[in-house]
Amino acid sequence: MTASALPFTAPSDQGSSAEVIDDSQAQAGFSQQLSELESLSQLRVAGMHCAACAGIIERALLGQPGVLDAQVNSAAERLQLRWNPRETRLSSLLAAVERAGYQAVPDLAAPARLLREREHRRAMWRLFVASFLMMQVMMLAWPIYVAEPGEMSADLRNLLNWARGC
């Protein structure tokens, strides 16, 4: 089924902007084609005041044909939308959000934010591993710190110093 054979038309009040947002090249900055029947779009939502607004937007979108899932984060004012590009157009879904009283625009910073989150997760993992290994080294160093002079034989002291890398 081609884009011209879809059973609906874009809202006329959006005009050429609807054509632009429906272009696959324009969507490349904020959408991923997960499969032939599924796309994932990251959008920013304006006009939300509380968590109930998120539920209103989700219900408005889930009632549209072709919407597989809609998750709104009211604190971050972001919308993650999974939809079927063969059944609907993105412009019609944005029009549904507008009819609900809100405005959704592409979140072009989503890929950069995802990259920062991955880097942060990797850095936290490295910090965890470094902390764990530091504790292991400290277990070997602790006896040297607390031993009174003459309590530890020279060969045991040399072994512990060797194990902790001194």
pLDDT (tens digit per residue) in 6-58? 333 344 444 445 567 887 788 888 888 888 899 999 999 998 888 899 999 99
| Residue-wise pLDDT tens digits, 83-109 | 999 999 999 999 999 999 999 888 888
pLDDT given at position 45: 92
pLDDT given at position 95: 92
pTM of the model: 0.59
In three-state form (DSSP H/G/I as H, E/B as E, the rest C), the secondary structure along 58-73 is HHHHHCCCCEEEEEEE
Distance CA 159, CA 166 (A): 10
Share of the chain above pLDDT 90, in %: 38
